[in-house]
Amino acid sequence: MIKEFKDFIAKGNVMDLAVGIIIGAAFTAIVGSLVEDMINPLIGLFIGGIDFGGLSASVGEATFSYGNFVMAVINFFIVAFVVFMLVKAVNKVKGREPEAAPEVPKGPSQEELLADILAALKK
């Protein structure tokens, strides 16, 4: 069982996944800070400092804080747009992939060439 576990951990896919999760967590902190500390204040300037977080509705004893949900949805779209812009910028920096070379038409096979040589030698 230990050998199987070692084999599983040593696979490249597991290590790539682990690195991806760690980098993703660090990237999440960067994007979250960008949204919370830089983009949300700018949006607040345009919408007059409205904070949806305090919006709620009460039905009997239950209180539904739908304002927090609205802010979460808005933040999701902001984060998705920021990630889209970052990926777009990275792809632009990386450059385009070289186009595949056009396929060269194939000539006769080796067997056909050998048969032609044999026929020429027989003449």
User: pLDDT digit string (tens) for 100-116?
Assistant: 667 767 777 888 888 88
Question: Does the pLDDT of residue 117 top 70, yes or no?
Answer: yes
Question: Does the pLDDT of residue 62 top 80, yes or no?
Answer: yes
φ, ψ of residue 8 to 5 degrees: the values are -65, -45
Q: Which of 24-38, 40-54, 57-71, 73-87 has the lowest mean pLDDT?
A: 40-54
Q: Do 77 and 66 reside in the same domain of the chain?
A: yes
Q: Do 41 and 64 reside in the same domain of the chain?
A: no
Q: Do 58 and 116 reside in the same domain of the chain?
A: yes
Helix (H, G, I), strand (E, B) or coil at 98: coil
The pLDDT of residue 97? 65
Q: Do 69 and 100 reside in the same domain of the chain?
A: yes
The pLDDT of residue 98? 66
| Burial classification of residue 5, based on how many CB atoms lie within 10 Å of its CB (0-12 exposed, 13-18 middle, 19 or more buried) | exposed
Question: Does the pLDDT of residue 86 top 80, yes or no?
Answer: yes
Q: Do 44 and 55 reside in the same domain of the chain?
A: no
Domain that holds residue 35: 1-50
Q: Do 8 and 37 reside in the same domain of the chain?
A: yes
Q: Do 81 and 115 reside in the same domain of the chain?
A: yes
The answer, as to whether pTM is greater than 0.75, is no
Q: Do 45 and 57 reside in the same domain of the chain?
A: no
Separation of alpha carbons 73 and 57, rounded Å: 18
Helices (H), the chain: 2-10, 12-34, 40-46, 66-94, 110-122
Number of domains in the chain: 2
Q: Do 119 and 83 reside in the same domain of the chain?
A: yes
* Mean pLDDT value of segment 31-59: 79
The pLDDT of residue 12? 65
Domain boundary among 31, 50, 69: 50
Top-confidence residue, 2 or 48: 2
